[in-house]
A = this chain, B = another copy of it.
Amino acid sequence: MHQTRLLTTSDVTAIAKRVGLDALMDAMIDRLSRKFSEYQAEQYLIPVRSGLHYHAPHDGLIEWMPALENQRSAFVKAVSYHPENPDRYGVPSVSSTGALYDIHTGRLAALIDSTFLTALRTGAASAVASRILAKPDSATVGIIGAGAQAVTQLHALLRCFPVESVLFYDIDERAVKSFSSRISAFLPDGVRVAESTVNDVVRYADILCTCTSLAAGEKPLFEDMLTKPWLHVNAVGADFPGKKELPLSFVRRSLVVPDFREQAEREGECQMLEHAEIGPDIITMLQTNGGNLDGQNRTTIFDSTGYALEDQAAMEMMLELAEAQNIGSMIELVRPPADPINPYDPEISGAEQSRSNRAKYSN
């Protein structure tokens, strides 16, 4: 009863391989959609994340994202963000572990590599938002920032829209070069993929995903311009105070739907807006059937800062799959002592401590 279930990268990879990428993304989209639709505020306690932020030796951020579901689960995802990682160390900028606690005793019930799951749920969340906010027959996906997040953004959208072409832009030549091969595992036949300029990506997109690592205080990714009248943007990059990807006038004239309003006002595109200028959050949109958006021909923005509720859904899904497939291992990370009110295990205390040999007190 006191063991901790461990799902390492290898375990998560094995599960994903068995399920298949498309089926896994579909399941994640369905689960998130259900989670948002069934969410009741009084059943959850989800504080805005906080973290340790530093600039030396490199820019870095370690955050914890907690989520309590009443009587059911307590969950904390730790996530680190080191934007220089790929260039400096050849490892991803984001790395993450999820910790699930037994709500009865507070013991650590499961520990999961959440790096892959974070990318998966971020893609799925954009798909859920796009299904309710974007033009249903969206055929052109635009991508600014073709790194790790772009892969799952595109994958999720391909599962929900009749995509015919993908236009992408990145300042990093290597990201540009490898993009096609990184999406080849799930790109349907006949979908055209082309590198483009920022302006053309914005101009021609029905759905635009911005998922860059721009730094806090930098100017927006593009100047406001003429777009398709019903352009929908999944703004994924902004997740820190001062970090904003979109131009103010574009944000002002769009319907802005945050994932988690309080957090988006601190860290997302919503930073630019007055409280009253912000639209309903994604949960409200889903629970009110999208507020009758159909045919409104207005630009829309999903302000995706990353929501612990999504992580909880992803972790639950992965744990269920692990159980069904019997993958993962159990470790005895924290073993309760024989006597709950003795921190000194008899095994330690039993160690021969010759009383006469012991040094006396020293003040």
Q: Is the CB of A358 within 8 A of B91?
A: no
A353 pairs with B66, CB closer than 8 A? no
Indicate if A113 sits at the interface (CB-CB under 8 A): yes
0/1 string, A156-198, CB within 8 A of B gives 1: 0011111100000000000100100010111011000000000
Whether the pair B9, A332 counts as a contact (CB closer than 8 A) is yes
Within A15-39, which residues are at the interface with B (CB < 8 Å)? 16-18, 20-22, 26
Cα of A82 to Cα of B102 in the assembled complex, Å: 11
A296 interface contact, C-beta 8 A? no
Q: Mark A59-80, 1 if CB is under 8 A from B, else 0.
A: 0111010101011001010101
Looking at A115-123, A250-258, A274-282, A315-323, the stretch in contact with chain B turns out to be A115-123
Residues of B within 8 Å of A148, CB to CB, are 340-343
In the complex, A240 has a CB within 8 A of chain B: no
Question: Is there contact, CB below 8 Å, between B106 and A335?
Answer: no
Query: What is the oligomeric copy number?
Result: 2
Which B residues are in CB contact (< 8 Å) with A341? 86, 92, 147-148, 151, 175, 178, 182
In the complex, the chain B residue whose C-beta lies closest to that of A149 is B343
At the interface, yes or no: A103 with Cβ under 8 Å from chain B? Answer: yes
A182-B104 in contact (CB<8A)? no
Contact among B78, B89, B92, B185 with A76 in the assembled complex (CB-CB below 8 Å): B78
Task: State the CA gap A92–B340 with chains docked (Å).
Answer: 4
A34 to chain B, nearest CB (A): 15
**Measured CA separation A116–B353 after assembly (Å):** 19
Q: Which of B47, B334, B358 contacts A113 (CB 8 A)?
A: B334
Q: Contacts A62-B101, A86-B341, A186-B353 given; 17 further ones with Cβ under 8 A? A: A52-B66, A52-B68, A57-B71, A57-B104, A64-B76, A91-B107, A95-B106, A95-B334, A115-B334, A148-B341, A148-B342, A159-B361, A159-B362, A160-B362, A162-B363, A178-B342, A185-B353
Q: Which residues of A are in contact with B by a Cβ distance under 8 Å?
A: 2, 6, 8-10, 13, 16-18, 20-22, 26, 45, 47, 50-52, 54, 56-58, 60-62, 64, 66, 68, 70-71, 74, 76, 78, 80-82, 85-86, 89-93, 95-97, 99, 101, 103-108, 111, 113, 115-116, 119-120, 131, 136, 147-149, 151-152, 155, 158-163, 175, 178, 182, 184-186, 188-189, 331-337, 339-345, 347-351, 353, 355, 358-359, 361-363
